Amino acid sequence: MFDKILIANRGEIACRVAATARRMGIRTVAVYSDADRSALHLLACDEAVHIGDNAPKDSYLHWERILEAAKTTGAQAVHPGYGFLSENAAFAQACADAGLVFVGPTPASISAMGLKSHSKRLMERAGVPLVPGYHGADQDPVLLRAQAGRIGYPVLIKASAGGGGKGMRAVERAEDFDAALASCKREALNGFGDDAVLIEKYVQRPRHIEFQIFGDQHGNCVHLFERDCSVQRRHQKVLEESPAPGMTPELRERMGAAAVAAARAVHYVGAGTVEFIVEQRDDGAMAFFFMEMNTRLQVEHPVTEAVTGLDLVEWQLRVASGEPLPLAQHAITIDGHAIEARICAETPDNHFLPATGELAVLRWPPHAAFMRNTDGMALHDAAAVRIDSGVRQGDTITPHYDSMVAKLIVHGRDRAQALARLDAALAQTHIVGPGTNLQFLRHVVRSPSFSKAHLDTGLIPREQALLFGQEPVGLEIAAAAALAATLLREHDSEDADPFSRRDGWRAYGLAQRTIGFEFQGDPVRALVCYGHDGALQLQVGARVGALSFSRVGDAIDLQFAGQRHRVHVYLLGDTAHVFAPHGATRIRIVDLLAHSGDSQGEGGRLSAPMPGKLLSFAVRAGESVRKGQALAVIEAMKMEHSIASPSDGTVSELLYAPGDQVAEGAELLRLAS
């Protein structure tokens, strides 16, 4: 086994690889760019080498510097993680040339699977089922068009060198073929420097089911079951799970055998993934076809770890150091159900545009296990909730790298339990700063399609009415929570410093306070009334009722208008970020004393702080009054509220009579000073 490895990556995957290495007693070397100077992955490793500035080509893709870093630190192997150099055959070769072990397959295997059309020809020979299509070398447009006709529309044109969902065009009708081909070729040439394409039948309602495979240097090859990654947005995975719902032992047997055959066809060594597209026929049958093979560890590998209890990075390191696979096929078993959600800094309601910014609050589910930092967790007892993340509170999501904040992985005895745990864990994850897809993920998890496992790659468009533009927390709860948090904070600072109290109402014995909020861009006024017994009444939006609250750990137990909510509120600047069980929102507190009892008598006038009925005046015209003296009583919200004088003076005129209805802001009397 190696003594020391270099991790040629960043973020959560660098932390995750380091955690296993540390558990195995292998020292680790991190590399980092300028932007990552104080990134978490540096702490997860024993040493760190600066390799350049922020652009990936000047750092995480800069082989020479990475190889140099390995040499100067005495690392014996390089783990590439995923992305960056992980599927770069030339880099794998350069490692070998420098006397370093590349933790991954051979350069020849990477190249063989790198081009879609080439890998398809290999798979065809190995007897692996392919999507009906054309992947020949002849790229004559007339021939391609004829092939599309033979396959039957709709078809998919794919760039042979494509990846990451780029360079694909679905074509519904023959008339559209030529234009789609031309644009696909343009994109392929720009993106991949190669305009060769292949054509496939466009599978309807397809599922994406992939198999984790592992090979060693002794000719052994096994699979570690499947992952269903059908929930995608723009061909990128959102949720991944294992086992695939509806998978039968017989289908798993056939797909697993095909995956192993695919790997064997390229003498595969290390961790790899064979992706299949699965056609769901009306009679319930599922037909599977090879799509591609990823010659690296996948982002979603933790779901496989959760159901098998195995540490795939440990397997990678063992295989790379020449050991045989730790287990034979029959000894690998699957237990329970696991789901991974990718938490990203992005705005789902705005075409998933990536978001950046400081993670002002980053709170994980309290019982989560972490695959990072100093102590590698034991994977043998799959954790119910696992977080793989490369950031901590206070870190910034920058535009330089991808927008994934963390992966949240849950495990349960069955899918229903895993789903419930996922929803609960997403609710317990609080992020304030850049926008995230947390709420969107919760909507997907709760959607009928996902909860009933009606999976296919069209799930998100099909459920879009439920997934986008939903505000899960109403004004009333938001305002009540913001108010509770503010009053609790005032109460705290009151204990510390009695002079910093901002609740002027108490000083003068006044009983109400109007608070200005801004919610979803609209100004809102709320009225809080204080009963003699200290009870609070809140009127906001369409709701009026008693408000009470208390702290429970770091949460607030909120009762408003007969409903009880457990909320977390983060007060940052003038904004309250409210996390309620069904979702999160924010509300701005524009003015805490927007219209309070002690400041409304400007210029000797006194007006009603809320709509209500004038019950009585406590004074007559001509009477002199003292500041704080009760002047009138208004009934509103089923409570009586006394209006106190803002200053010393003389009542010059009463403007209403007892029994009158008065509007909010109505002037009740005139006061001369």
Which residues are near ligand ADP by CB under 6 A? 131, 156, 162-166, 200-203, 206, 208, 232, 235, 275, 277, 291-292, 457
Q: Provide the strand spans (E) within 325-459.
A: 337-344, 346-347, 353-354, 357-358, 361-363, 369-370, 385-389, 396-397, 404-412, 430-432
Are 7 and 76 in contact, with CB atoms under 8 Å apart? Answer: no
Q: Which is nearer to ligand ADP, 201 or 586 (CB)?
A: 201
CB of 468 to ligand ADP, least distance (A): 20
> What is the C-alpha to C-alpha distance for residues 127 and 104, in angstroms, rounded to an integer?
25
Torsion of CA 290, 295, 300, 303, to 10 degrees: 80
In the complex with ligand ADP, the residue whose CB is nearer, 50 or 205, is 205
Consecutive H or E run containing 88: none
Residue nearest to ligand ADP according to CB distances in the complex = 203
Residue whose CB is less far from ligand ADP, 275 or 305: 275
Cα separation, 479 vs 285, in Å, equals 52
Q: How far apart are CA 255 and CA 122, in angstroms?
A: 17
**Least distance (Å) from ligand ADP to the CB of residue 164?**
5
Burial of 129 (0-12, 13-18, 19+ CB in 10 A): middle
Determine the Cα–Cα distance for residues 92 and 86; give it in Å rounded to an integer: 8
CB closer to ligand ADP, 152 vs 165: 165
Return the closest-CA partner of residue 232 out of 452, 410, 466, 461: 461
Give me the numbers of helices (H) and strands (E) for the chain, helices first please.
18, 40
CA atoms within 13 A on the CB side of 594: 17
> What's the Cα-to-Cα distance from 48 to each of 44, 95, 272, 389, 444, rounded to whole Å?
10, 19, 28, 18, 39
Q: Catalytic pick from 65, 296, 442, 543?
A: 296
**Least separation, in Å, of the C-beta of 113 and ligand ADP?**
11
Q: How far is the CB of 163 from ligand ADP (least distance, A)?
A: 4
**Shortest spacing between CB 344 and ligand ADP, in angstroms:** 17
CA dist 103 → 99, 262, 297, 315 (Å): 13, 20, 10, 10
Strands 667-672, 649-654: pairing kind = antiparallel
Shortest distance (Å) from residue 130 CB to ligand ADP: 10
206's CB contacts (< 8 A; 6+ apart) are 230, 277, 278, 279, 280, 456, 457
By C-beta, is 17 or 459 nearer to ligand ADP? 459
What DSSP character marks residue 34? G
Picking from 426, 368, 395, the residue whose alpha carbon sits closest to that of residue 35 is: 395
Residue 525 known to be catalytic: no
Q: Whose Cβ is closer to ligand ADP: residue 455's or residue 484's? A: 455
Least gap, CB of 298 to ligand ADP (angstroms): 12
Would you say 203 or 269 has its CB closer to ligand ADP? 203
Catalytic site residues? 296
